[in-house]
A and B are shown apart, each in its own frame.
Chain A
Amino acid sequence: KAGVTQTPRYLIKTRGQQVTLSCSPISGHRSVSWYQQTPGQGLQFLFEYFSETQRNKGNFPGRFSGRQFSNSRSEMNVSTLELGDSALYLCASSDGTARGIDTQYFGPGTRLTVL
Chain B
Amino acid sequence: KQEVTQIPAALSVPEGENLVLNCSFTDSAIYNLQWFRQDPGKGLTSLLLIQSSQREQTSGRLNASLDKSSGRSTLYIAASQPGDSATYLCAVTEYGNKLVFGAGTILRVKS
Contact = CB atoms under 8 A, between A and B. Distances in A.
Number of contact residues on A: which range applies?
20 to 34
Interface of A is mostly: strand
Interface of B: 31-32, 34, 36, 41-46, 49, 51, 89, 91, 93-104
B98 A45 contact: yes
Given A42-B104, A101-B31, A101-B32, A108 B42 contact: yes
A100 interface: yes
B105 to A, nearest CB: 12
Interface of A: 4, 31, 33, 35, 42-45, 48, 55-56, 58, 88, 90, 92, 94, 96, 99-101, 103-109, 111
Contacts, number: 71
Nearest to A46: B98
Nearest to B93: A100
Contacts of A100: 31-32, 93-97
Contact of B97 (A33, A42, A107): A33
A105 to B, nearest CB: 6
B30 to A, nearest CB: 8
A56 B96 contact: yes
